[in-house]
């Protein structure tokens, strides 16, 4: 186990883009080599050493912990594309933290800005404070968002979390989001993601969901008209086999989506509710 | 009294709204607009505004001791280039009310500066573009609608006031090849929270609760698929009315949805458009249906086109890495200003001070501000440098794109007053000077 410590020298006026801060890039490098890694400041190409004090020792990627201190709310893209190791951020962090990471862990002891864990492919992102909009979402124009991994947010998250999440049980890809409370359009265009909300959600949860499970343990304002009530359940089985107990009302939907997952029988005119997405709201 | 010689110019384009009417006749005498025929009230006013008046800038202005004072072009360009060349992250915003050739120069300047480039779609139909990238868009040109559409739906748009001649040229009263009887051959539906003047001339008016359009679209899509809903009423609209609307949509021979800011800028933003486009797509299983945004500025569609063919993206573009990156919400002008992430701004043919949130405007004024504009506006009043422009489409030629992305040629009907230059020439001067200062 080795550790590299970074400390922000002073807060920046315009955003600093530091996708070079990943265990993949730091592994096996000396302190001087790490200090020379590139960061982007406006149109200038500068180095990590210009903005951070760097101490510690770096060895193998998977045994490496990078801990970062300071107010990083204007530092974007930390942990982008990382595939192993661990990053611990003590303080708030800027946009795109851990986007597209495929392995390892990021722990944010503070709040995160928009697009935290966007298009996650694996690994774990934990945020102890709140997170912004588009947590674990697809970037603009992508039809496949988060494909695997886990995001845990203790506080509230913004709008359109888990946009275009794409999971598959046979392929063992189970994108999962656990959060305190959520803004509107939670899990929109959900294709097999699992979302558990400990508290309340805003309007339009599960809009355009094709498959997937959304569990809301708190309150939800009026759900979308295209969701059909199935009944009351006492236990929910998630895709990974885990079970949640408690009194929930089960809804199937979104039935407005024209996909085979929610078919209306031509013979009987009945709606097949068994194959499409599920929305559970505490009774 | 000497009789003034009046020159009439025919087939003039109107540089006001996205309808881009191309049949105006303008009378000019003594380099003044004396009469405008065929244009709507708003368009007519725009032509008259080019006549000499106290709100027009005729020379470059530089702020000295808190007051804008007249300056020479050389001094103003030099100072503006100084500000831009030294900025770490300048913002270039506006462009929707000028011609494509100038917009192209704006892209060039943004790339040289490594700045943030955005146009007014960011605060109007940007959500439409986002939805289009997510789910596509079945569209057509206005001529198609004029000749074929027998069902016209205005959703969250009020053309009687915002696009006054749209109804008589393309969508309501006009006679088309297959719609020989004009208005009588078309069924007009208006969906709007307010009983607007457009709603008052419609065959079916659906009053939706404010900001609940998404739920209504959602219900319509489900009903169209044959799903029996549990609800009796959605967004303030009864299930009978929803079924009536779905039936009308399914049985028409060619339907079109014209949507406005009522959809793009209410609570669900691009998700409204996402749902509306999905609905249109699904309606094509039953009949022919199209959907098209009612673009506001006459050349905002052009700004999207020009930005896209130059950079690959329609708006909210960041050049800080030397190549174009796109992400509304991160690089869009309102957000970068709100988070105070730029250190200088160049505004071209736009007035963000009147339209942006107050917190963004405050940060806009905090840093050096250069404005290229013909007229005095809340933005120019707080500018450090004002570069006076000729009004594109009246005092300068160029290309503009209609709301359905058809390019048309703007005409010059009169000369610009004073020392005014066209937007394109001003931007070229800035590019040259910035390059010189950067030692390129």
Span B31-79, pLDDT tens digits: 999 999 999 999 999 999 999 999 999 999 999 999 999 999 999 999 9
d(CA B373, CA B391): 8
pLDDT (mean) for A144-153: 96
Q: Minimal Cα–Cα distance from B345 to chain A, Å?
A: 14
Enumerate residues 6+ apart whose C-beta is below 8 A from B67.
none
Q: Minimal Cα–Cα distance from B221 to chain A, Å?
A: 5
Q: Which of A226, A249, A272 to mutate to test the interface with B (most CBs of B within 10 A)?
A: A226
Determine whether the interchain pair B218/A254 forms a contact, defined as Cβ–Cβ distance below 8 Å: yes
Residue of chain A nearest B115, judged by CA positions: A43
Residues B63 and B381: beta-carbon distance below 8 Å:
no
How many Cβ contacts (< 8 angstroms) between chains A and B? 107
Distance of alpha carbon A181 from its chain centroid, rounded? Answer: 14
Residues B196 and B221: beta-carbon distance below 8 Å:
no
pLDDT of residue A262: 55
pLDDT (mean) for B353-362: 95
- Can you read off the two tokens belonging to residue A5? 């410590």
Q: Minimal Cα–Cα distance from A22 to chain B, Å?
A: 20
Determine whether the interchain pair A225/B319 forms a contact, defined as Cβ–Cβ distance below 8 Å: no
For residue A198, give the nearest of A155, A162, A164 by alpha carbon.
A155
Kindly provide the ipTM of the predicted complex, given to two decimals. 0.92
Residues in chain B: 440
Q: List Cα–Cα distances, B236 to B94, B191, B218, B266, in angstroms.
A: 38, 12, 14, 16
Would an 8 Å CB–CB cutoff place A80 in contact with chain B?
Answer: no
Determine whether the interchain pair B215/A134 forms a contact, defined as Cβ–Cβ distance below 8 Å: no
Residues from chain A that touch B218, judged by Cβ atoms under 8 A, are 207, 224-226, 254, 256
Determine whether the interchain pair A256/B222 forms a contact, defined as Cβ–Cβ distance below 8 Å: yes
d(CA B233, CA A47): 59
Residues from chain B that touch A207, judged by Cβ atoms under 8 A, are 214, 218, 271, 275
pLDDT (mean) for B80-87: 96
Residues B226 and A264: beta-carbon distance below 8 Å:
yes
Domains observed in chain B: 7-48 (no CATH), 61-124+298-437 (3.40.50.740), 126-293 (3.40.228.10)
Instruction: Please state, rounded to an integer, the average pLDDT across all residues of chain B.
Output: 95
Would an 8 Å CB–CB cutoff place A257 in contact with chain B?
Answer: yes
Give the H/E segment covering residue A230.
Answer: strand A228-237
Task: Name the more confident of A159 and A265.
Answer: A159
Residues from chain B that touch A40, judged by Cβ atoms under 8 A, are 320-321
User: Nearest by CB to B326, which of A133, A140, A189?
Assistant: A140
Q: For B374-432, how does the pLDDT look when each residue is reduced to its tens digit (9 = 90+)? A: 999 999 999 999 999 999 999 999 999 999 999 999 999 999 999 999 999 999 999 99
Other CB atoms closer than 10 Å to residue A59's CB: what's the count? 15
Residue of chain B nearest A159, judged by CA positions: B268
Q: Which of B111, B212, B216, B218 to mutate to test the interface with A (most CBs of A within 10 A)?
A: B218
Q: Minimal Cα–Cα distance from A279 to chain B, Å?
A: 16
d(CA B21, CA B411): 12
Q: For B149-190, how does the pLDDT look when each residue is reduced to its tens digit (9 = 90+)? A: 999 999 999 999 999 999 999 999 999 999 999 999 999 999
Q: Which of B271, B337, B338, B367 to mutate to test the interface with A (most CBs of A within 10 A)?
A: B271
Q: For A187-228, how does the pLDDT look when each residue is reduced to its tens digit (9 = 90+)? A: 999 999 999 999 999 999 999 998 899 999 999 998 999 998
């Amino acid at each position: 186990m080795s550790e590299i410590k970074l400390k922000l020298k002073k807060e920046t006026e315009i955003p600093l883009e530091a996708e070079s801060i990943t265990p993949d890039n730091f592994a096996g490098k000396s302190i001087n080599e790490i200090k020379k890694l590139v960061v982007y400041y406006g149109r200038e190409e500068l180095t990590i050493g210009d903005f951070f004090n760097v101490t510690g020792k770096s060895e193998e990627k998977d045994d490496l912990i990078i801990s970062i201190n300071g107010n990083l709310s204007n530092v974007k893209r930390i942990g982008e594309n990382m595939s192993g190791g661990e990053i611990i951020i003590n303080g708030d962090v800027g946009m795109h933290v851990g986007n597209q990471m495929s392995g390892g862990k990021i722990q944010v002891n503070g709040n995160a800005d928009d697009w935290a864990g966007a298009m996650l492919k694996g690994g774990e992102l934990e945020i102890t404070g709140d997170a912004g909009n588009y947590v674990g979402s697809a970037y603009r124009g992508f039809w496949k968002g988060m494909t695997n991994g886990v995001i845990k947010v203790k506080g509230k998250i913004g709008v359109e979390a888990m946009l275009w999440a794409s999971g598959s049980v046979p392929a063992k890809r189970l994108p999962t989001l656990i959060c305190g409370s959520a803004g509107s359009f939670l899990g929109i265009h959900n294709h097999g993601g699992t979302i558990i909300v400990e508290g309340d959600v805003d309007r339009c949860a599960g809009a355009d969901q094709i498959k997937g499970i959304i569990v809301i343990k708190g309150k939800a304002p009026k759900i979308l008209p295209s969701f059909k009530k199935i009944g009351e359940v006492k236990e929910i089985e998630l895709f990974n086999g885990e079970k949640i107990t408690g009194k929930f009302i089960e809804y199937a939907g979104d039935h407005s989506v024209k996909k085979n997952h929610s078919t209306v029988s031509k013979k009987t005119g009945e709606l097949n509710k068994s194959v499409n997405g599920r929305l559970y709201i505490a009774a | 009294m000497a009789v003034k010689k009046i020159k009439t110019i025919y087939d003039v384009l109107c540089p006001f709204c996205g309808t881009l009417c191309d049949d105006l006749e303008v009378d000019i005498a003594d380099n003044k607009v004396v009469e405008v025929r065929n244009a709507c009230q708003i368009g007519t006013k725009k032509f008259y505004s080019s006549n000499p008046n106290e709100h027009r800038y005729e020379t470059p202005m530089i702020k000295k001791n808190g007051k804008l004072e007249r300056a020479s072009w050389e001094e103003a360009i030099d100072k503006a280039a100084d500000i831009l060349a030294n900025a770490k992250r300048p913002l270039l915003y506006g462009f929707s009310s000028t011609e494509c050739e100038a917009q192209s120069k704006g892209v060039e300047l943004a790339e040289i500066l490594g700045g943030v480039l955005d146009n007014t779609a960011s605060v109007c139909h940007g959500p439409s573009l986002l939805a289009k990238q997510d789910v596509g868009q079945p569209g057509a040109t206005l001529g198609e609608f004029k000749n074929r559409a027998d069902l016209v739906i205005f959703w969250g748009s009020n053309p009687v006031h915002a696009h006054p001649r749209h109804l008589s040229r393309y969508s309501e009263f006009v006679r088309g090849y297959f719609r020989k009887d004009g208005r009588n051959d078309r069924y007009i539906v208006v969906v709007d929270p307010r009983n607007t003047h457009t709603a008052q001339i419609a065959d079916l008016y659906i009053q939706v609760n404010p900001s609940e359009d998404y739920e209504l679209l959602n219900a319509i899509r489900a009903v169209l698929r044959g799903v029996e809903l549990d609800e009796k009423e959605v967004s303030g609209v009864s299930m009978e009315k929803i079924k009536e609307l779905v039936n009308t949509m399914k049985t028409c021979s060619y339907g079109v949805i014209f949507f406005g800011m009522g959809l793009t800028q209410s609570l669900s933003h691009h998700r409204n458009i996402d749902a509306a486009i999905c609905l249109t797509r699904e309606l094509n299983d039953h009949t022919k249906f199209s959907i098209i945004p009612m673009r506001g500025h006459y050349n905002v569609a052009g700004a999207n086109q020009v930005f896209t063919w130059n950079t690959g993206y329609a708006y909210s573009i960041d050049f800080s890495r030397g190549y174009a990156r796109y992400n509304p919400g991160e690089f869009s002008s309102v957000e970068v200003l709100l988070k105070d992430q730029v250190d200088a701004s160049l505004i071209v043919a736009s007035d963000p001070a009147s339209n942006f949130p107050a917190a963004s405007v405050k940060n806009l004024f905090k840093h050096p501000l250069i404005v290229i504009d013909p007229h005095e506006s809340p933005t120019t009043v707080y500018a450090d440098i004002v570069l006076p422009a000729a009004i594109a489409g009246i005092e300068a030629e160029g290309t503009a794109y209609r709301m359905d992305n058809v390019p048309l040629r703007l005409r010059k009907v009169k000369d610009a007053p004073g020392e005014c230059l066209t937007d394109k020439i001003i931007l070229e001067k800035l590019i040259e000077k910035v390059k010189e200062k950067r030692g390129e």
